Structure 1
Amino acid sequence: MKILTANRLVDGEAVWLAADNSWVENIQLAERASDAETEARLDAAGKAALANNEVVDVNLIDVALVDGAIRPNRLREQIRANGPTTHLQFGKAARFGANAA
């Protein structure tokens, strides 16, 4: 399974593409692609957002569902999902829960 991630250009925040084509800060709201057709649609949406200067560093990433929650396979993406590696009262960990990814 894959989801589309990027960094929002205006503030550098890690974001994920939701089913309504909006960029969301909570990875759990990301649209999941389980087939090549959906992956291609997500990829096209990411390229369009990049061309419109909305986001940068657009990538489809591999994820798994762990107890019903989206969890990125790579450590880098897990860190991006939880925010900076600081105290849990800061960043995404504070907004969406320490185990958001």
Structure 2
Amino acid sequence: MSGYVRVFAHSNALLVSHVRNVLAAADIPVELRNMVLGGGAGELPLGECEPEVWVAPHNRERAEALIHAAMAGPGEMPGWHCPNCGETLEGVFDTCWRCGTPKA
């Protein structure tokens, strides 16, 4: 996946994986980089060892908004109920995880 842009980097691989999951739930294709370079810290510059999340340029703005909302916590975006199946979803999700219906 060439031509992608970095939208998130952090030394905590679990946080990077969470961001990846948030974006994937919003149907944004994601590429993870540097997930196993943590052992190189000290040998390599720190900025080159941090796990990173990359997306296509046309998804950058939406991805950054979703990341910001996910990092801000639940108060930022209100939850919603799927109009098709009634599932309760967190505000960061644009599509119902249960039935795939888009947020109204």
Q: Whose strand fraction is larger, Structure 1's or Structure 2's?
A: 1
Question: What is the TM-score normalised by the length of structure 2?
Answer: 0.29
* Bigger Cα Rg: 2
Question: What is the TM-score normalised by the length of structure 1?
Answer: 0.30
